[in-house]
Amino acid sequence: MLLNIDVPLRTATPHSEACSHVPKPFGTQFKPVGELGRDGGWFSVSSTAEGKAIARREFPQGTFKPCAFCMES
C-alpha cells in the first residue's frame, strides 16, 4: 500500500500499489519517497492504521481520505 501525502491539496490518501492513480515513477524531486518534500511525499505502508499514523505524524493538518478509485481504506 502507498500513502500519498499531498501538501497543496492538504490530503493523505492510501492507494493499492496497482491503483491507476499512482504515477509511475511515483517519487519526484518535490514529492520524494519516504519523506516530505515541497509538494508532499509517498510512503510505503502495510495497513490503513499505519498510513493514518504516518499522516498524523508527517502532515497533521491534512485530511485522511481513501482513494475513490482503488478503494484502499
- Per residue in 20-63, pLDDT (tens digit) is 989 888 889 999 999 999 999 999 999 999 999 999 999 999 99
Instruction: Provide the pLDDT for residue 72.
Output: 44
Please indicate, yes or no, if residue 45 is contained in any of the structural domains. yes
Establish if 59 belongs to a structural domain.
yes
Using the structure block, give the residue that is written with the C-alpha cell 492504521: 49
Within-domain flag for 69: no
Structural domain contains residue 71: no
The C-alpha cell that represents 73 in the structure block: 481504506
User: Is position 56 within any domain?
Assistant: yes
User: What's the pLDDT score for residue 17?
Assistant: 86
pTM of the model: 0.90
For residue 25, the model assigns a pLDDT of 84
Residue 73 included in any domain: no
Burial-class residue 52 by CB neighbours within 10 Å (0-12, 13-18, 19+): middle
Q: How much is the pLDDT for 71?
A: 65
Instruction: Count up the domains in the chain and report the number.
Output: 1
Per the structure, the complete domain to which residue 29 belongs is given by 2-64
Whether 25 maps to a domain, the answer reads: yes
The answer to whether residue 70 is domain-embedded is no
